[in-house]
Amino acid sequence: MQTRNHTMQYNGFHGRATITVRVPVDTRPGQTVTVSRAVARRVNAAVCGIAGCCCGEQVAHEQYPDSALWSIDLPEDGQEMGGYYPQ
């Protein structure tokens, strides 16, 4: 499977962050992509890497409890994701 880098901005609780993930070449804005647990940890740390913070900000979401599969919903415009403040 051929992949490409997809860079997007995340505007969240802690300010702006630039996130880059590898996606299949035919991925379109607004689609959901599956990523590994390692990639999920990396992108989630990019939006909130503060130890002990309880903001709950995350870009990657676990598909099933205790699953190795995580997903990222790409923004509709392909460029900027809005923040999610669950507190």
The predicted model gives 71-82 an average pLDDT of 80
Residue 26: what pLDDT?
92
Q: pLDDT, tens digit, for every residue of 45-56?
A: 888 878 888 887
Residue 78: what pLDDT?
66
| Residues ≥6 apart with Cβ < 8 Å to 52 | none
Number of domains in the chain: 1
In this structure, is residue 51 part of a structural domain? Answer: yes
Name the residue range of residue 40's domain: 3-82
CA distance 20 to 23: 9
* Residue with the larger pLDDT of the pair 65 and 82: 65
In this structure, is residue 87 part of a structural domain? Answer: no
Residue 4: what pLDDT?
92
Q: End-to-end distance of the chain based on CA atoms, in angstroms?
A: 38
pLDDT band with cut points at 50, 70 and 90 for residue 14: confident
